[in-house]
Amino acid sequence: MKRRNFLKNASLTGMGLALGNALTNCAEKEKSTPASAVEPAASTFPVVVATWNFQEAVAKAREVLENGKPALDAVEQGVMVEEANADNQTVGLGGLPDRDGHVTLDASIMDHTGNCGSVVFLENIVHAVSVARKVMEDTPHVMLAGKGAEQFAYEQGFPKTDLLTEASKKAWEEWKVRSEYKPVINIENHDTIGMLAIDRDGNMAGACTTSGLAFKMHGRVGDSPIIGSGMYVDNEVGGAVATGMGEEVVKTVG
């Protein structure tokens, strides 16, 4: 199924549906209204939405948009709030480690022109989404992985940071006692932060960042950094991000 058709016909998240409908309504209005009269209401744009309970991240993104910055800046700076939040054990600093005790991060970012970048299996860098943006803007590639992504981050000036906090280390040590690993698919299984925004020019951008499944196999990568699976934006149709069991998302949308 093509990404555009998927966005038109269905959405894995209410967010994708919401922004898709917003743009669809604009398109319908344009068909029935003279071009000279098509002016989005002042309250229509900018707009930003995110997965789950991330009000501070949304507030930051909204601030960026209100200052006239593009949607790409807004989604990056918005999700960075949670990447730096050590109390959030699903993203960035303080994320729960894999079964070997390593915190590994995945992230992706995409703008309205189709440019995109991502990193997978990244260690020792707090702001994976910013590294993903550097991949998009400063390399001929879309995705960098593991040690290569980490080395690239250092070359771009990102500081090395131990991502394993005492709280996450304690949770890992408690898990090792029983070593049970059976991911549960339910409404509670979430907290990847995905964010979509539309700026004053009507252009969209999206970002997604996560530390992945807690106590996963070393080397596991989920859907979040996969463009067209964990996140996708299309100015003509809408945008969507996914959160939950990455394997199931990949099986569903590719």
Instruction: Locate 157 and state its tokens.
Output: 């000036």
Note whether residue 91 is domain-resident: yes
φ/ψ bin of 27: left (φ > 0), alpha (ψ from -120 to 50), beta (otherwise): alpha
Q: Any idea which residue has 């789950």 for tokens? A: 52
Give me the pLDDT at residue 223, please. 93
Q: How far apart are CA 74 and CA 60, in angstroms?
A: 8
Q: How many domains does the chain have?
A: 1
Q: Which pLDDT score, from 0 to 100, does residue 28 have?
A: 45
Active site residue 192: yes
Amino acid at 76: E
CA distance 190 to 242: 9
37: in domain: no
Quote the pLDDT of residue 32.
46
Question: Is the residue at 28 inside a domain?
Answer: no
Catalytic residue among 13, 104, 165, 192: 192
Give the pLDDT of residue 218.
96
Q: Is residue 135 in a domain?
A: yes
- Give the pLDDT of residue 183: 62
Considering the domain boundaries, does residue 32 fall inside one? no
Which residue range(s) make up the domain with 153?
Answer: 45-253
Is residue 101, in this structure, part of any structural domain at all? yes
Rounded to 5 degrees, what angle do the CA atoms 133, 135, 141 make? 135
- Per-position pLDDT tens, the chain of length 254: 455 554 454 433 344 434 544 443 434 444 444 444 445 455 578 999 998 789 999 999 999 999 999 999 999 999 999 999 999 999 999 999 999 999 999 999 999 999 999 999 999 999 999 999 999 999 999 999 999 999 999 999 999 999 999 999 999 999 999 887 666 555 554 458 999 999 999 999 999 999 999 999 999 999 999 999 999 999 999 999 988 888 888 888 86
Give the position of tokens 């945008």: 239
Rounded Cα–Cα distance for residues 210 and 25 (Å): 32
- What pLDDT score was predicted for residue 85? 97
Q: What's the pLDDT score for residue 249?
A: 87
Q: What pLDDT sits at residue 191? A: 56
Closest CA to 230 of 249, 216, 245, 213: 249
Confidence (pTM): 0.83
In a domain, 57, yes or no: yes
Are the beta carbons of 181 and 221 closer than 8 angstroms?
no
What distance, in Å, lies between the first and last C-alpha atoms of the chain? 9
Query: Residue 39 falls within a domain, yes or no?
Result: no
Specify the pLDDT at position 250: 85
